[in-house]
Amino acid sequence: MSERARLLEAASRSGHTSMTWSIMLDATVTEAVEVASAVRRLEDGWPSDRLGPSPEVREVSLADLPRQVAGMGDRHYGPNDPLARVAFCPGPVPHVVVAAYHGALDGLGLIALLALVTGQEIGSSIRGVDPAAAIRPAGPAHMARRVLEALVRPPARFEPDRKSSEGGDHLLDLDLLAGSVGTAELVSASAAALRRWNRERGARTRRVVAAVAASRRPGREATLSESSAWFRVGLTSGEPEEVRRRLRGRPPEPRGSPTMSRPAMGAVARLLAPRLGSSVFVSNLGRLEPAGPVVRAALHTAALGRSGVGIGGVTVGSTLTLTMRARRSDFSREGAARMLSMAAEELRRTKAPGATRADPPGRSGPAGLAPEAPLPPA
């Protein structure tokens, strides 16, 4: 089996076959990127021997940008499709959007792709985890525990506010200015938003399990590759100090399993998909250092786990851009915006105990926040 075919097959073994596994980084840049020059850089720098054809490239208007970004996330990657996508918006507010199949590139891979197409150095402040600790396979005992958990005691989820046949995900973002917020604070805010959301809907939240994205390389070594890792953390109070304590010294979750390659196990995973996985997926891409031409960036991470909700964060300068990705089949756009607003309010509470309200989802409104990202992204 080719490397490309192996990458695409991984999604079918996860059980979440409706997901596109397309992650995105939407960067606002200081000036428009010349598309012809960017295409030449892609042709020279893309590892086609390993990842297949050079990324799909298109130029879009600012008015059409939200629809195009949504499409980059919602479209599946077919057997013959490029595993990455790039969109250029010339202005009046210039953007460069990069997307990739998560099995081909991780969050740092998106940064590397953004650096390639802009022709400027871009990196991240994240530190990375021990590569040796992050590549252990999941044995039969681990898989049995996960199946038992799904059957007997599945993690809590964001209760859906609707049931729809609509595919794809809602993508929302807001900006929070100044200060310092690490991954522990972001995870804590996400867990608190889960509890608040469920409480508003009259649902109990019995057991919160957060999935926390990480990387097997530091942000200064962003390359066109996938080196992700992740942690799975059960939370009681959900306060930042509890998150730090539970992450401290904890090995990342196992990566893959020969057991899952068996057809029977793949069928079990698909059957249990609504009960498998974490309560919320959190990815902090850290502070872009250097940021090159980027003045703002929004990470649209994968919407994983039982909830189908992913919360991401990226800092450029003093601005943290917080994002929410939520499955349209389970959540209205208004509901997703409310969940994002709750997470922002909880971040503000963490940094400014006297504050109780956050600005509504949008692209302005200081909330006194920015991440230091002690853990890296996937």
What's the whole-model pTM score? 0.85
Q: How confident is the model over 97-103, as a mean pLDDT? A: 96
Strand 280-287 versus strand 309-316 pairing type: parallel
For residue 216, pLDDT over 60 is answered with yes
Identify the pLDDT of residue 376.
Answer: 36
Which tokens go with 146? Answer: 């996960």
How many angstroms separate the CA atoms of 52 and 132, rounded?
Answer: 27
User: Residue 36's CB: how many other CB atoms inside 10 A?
Assistant: 7
Q: How confident is the model over 86-99, as a mean pLDDT? A: 97
Identify the pLDDT of residue 373.
Answer: 35
Q: Say which range, 16-25, 94-103, 165-174, 365-374, has the weakest mean pLDDT.
A: 365-374
pLDDT bucket at 130, cuts 50 / 70 / 90: confident
Whether 224 contacts 245, CB under 8 Å: no
| CA distance readout (Å), 201 to 37, 54, 244, 282, 345 | 51, 46, 29, 22, 18
Beta-ladder partners of 213: 230
Identify the pLDDT of residue 128.
Answer: 83
How many angstroms separate the CA atoms of 280 and 155, rounded?
Answer: 10
Q: pLDDT (tens digit, 9 = 90+) per residue, 256-292?
A: 655 455 555 556 656 656 666 789 999 999 999 999 9
Q: What is the DSSP string of 335-350?
A: HHHHHHHHHHHHHHHH
Neighbouring C-alpha atoms within 13 Å toward the C-beta of 198: 17
Rg (CA), the chain: 19
| CA distance readout (Å), 129 to 2, 48, 242, 377 | 28, 28, 20, 10
Which tokens go with 254? Answer: 């196992």
Identify the pLDDT of residue 366.
Answer: 30
Q: How confident is the model over 242-250, as a mean pLDDT? A: 89
Q: pLDDT (tens digit, 9 = 90+) per residue, 328-342?
A: 999 999 999 999 999
Whether 195 contacts 342, CB under 8 Å: no
How many angstroms separate the CA atoms of 361 and 8, rounded?
Answer: 34
Whether 372 contacts 181, CB under 8 Å: yes
Identify the pLDDT of residue 3.
Answer: 57
How many angstroms separate the CA atoms of 195 and 173, rounded?
Answer: 20
Instruction: Phi first, then psi: give them for residue 243, nearest 5 degrees.
Output: -60, -45
Angle, CA 123 vertex, CA 121 and CA 126 arms, to 5°: 170
Identify the pLDDT of residue 148.
Answer: 65
Angle, CA 113 vertex, CA 107 and CA 118 arms, to 5°: 130
Q: What is the DSSP string of 97-110?
A: EEEEETTT--HHHH
Beta-ladder partners of 280: 210
Q: Which residue has the higher pLDDT, 307 or 273?
A: 307
| CA distance readout (Å), 364 to 49, 91, 323 | 43, 19, 14
